[in-house]
Amino acid sequence: MQDGISLAKSLLGKLMVYNTPMGRISGMVVETEAYMGPEDKAAHSSRSKSQRTLVQYGPGGFVYMYRIYGIYHCFNVVANIENTPHCVLIRGLEPAEGVEAMMSNRGTTELKALCSGPGKLCVALGLNKQCYGVDLCGDSLFFEEYLQPQAIMSSPRINVDYAEEYTALPWRFYIKDNPHVSKHKNNRLGATIQLA
């Protein structure tokens, strides 16, 4: 299993699929962030191992879901091998299947507003705490091959100002010029990077 940074890049262009009884809801991954374990002061795993972060210490390919600000959920893919708590935050999707359901869940019909942020996309897909620890090799929630991104950009991660020397590291990745990337000031700090 790849480390967090490799996984964050390789998930771009993949289709994230939630298989519901009502049909598939899916979107192409357009924006991710890598969190690189105990040394990374931005990562939840930089603090002592806890109930919340437990799944990160298992093998990669499982869901790390957490609640933020008491309101939203953020969806992460655990990366790397056991006892190496890396993960990848999914920050933006381009809606593909089940767009009607997403609009209903989000209470808006504006396509660009549906999944352009980590909290928004969890609402759009209807994901909550119940998917904590779910195996992404199962048939409920998984990633599929979809498109090869033309160009990938990197920038500092969003809202990790507390992370000292880790704040400025370019561990946010997104598909260049895609309208479903979340809007943020440090978009302008982005730089083109080599495709893997």
The Cβ-side half-sphere exposure at 43, using a 13 Å CA radius, reads 28
In the bound state with DNA, the residue whose beta carbon lies nearer, of 21 and 70, is 70
In the bound state with DNA, the residue whose beta carbon lies nearer, of 162 and 177, is 162
In the bound state with DNA, the residue whose beta carbon lies nearer, of 148 and 163, is 163
- For the four alpha carbons of 60, 43, 121 and 153, in that order, the dihedral sign comes to negative
CB environment 69-97: b (16+ within 10 A), e (fewer): eeeebbbbbbbbeeebbbbbbbbbbbbbe
Q: Which stretch binds DNA (CB under 7 A): 5-13, 37-45, 95-103, 146-154?
A: 37-45
112 binds DNA per the rule CB under 7 A: no
Q: What is the DSSP secondary structure assignment for residue 62, as one 8-state letter?
A: B
Enumerate residues 92-111 that contact DNA by CB under 7 A. 106, 108
53 binds DNA per the rule CB under 7 A: yes
79 binds DNA per the rule CB under 7 A: no
- Tokens standing for residue 101: 């359901």
70 binds DNA per the rule CB under 7 A: yes
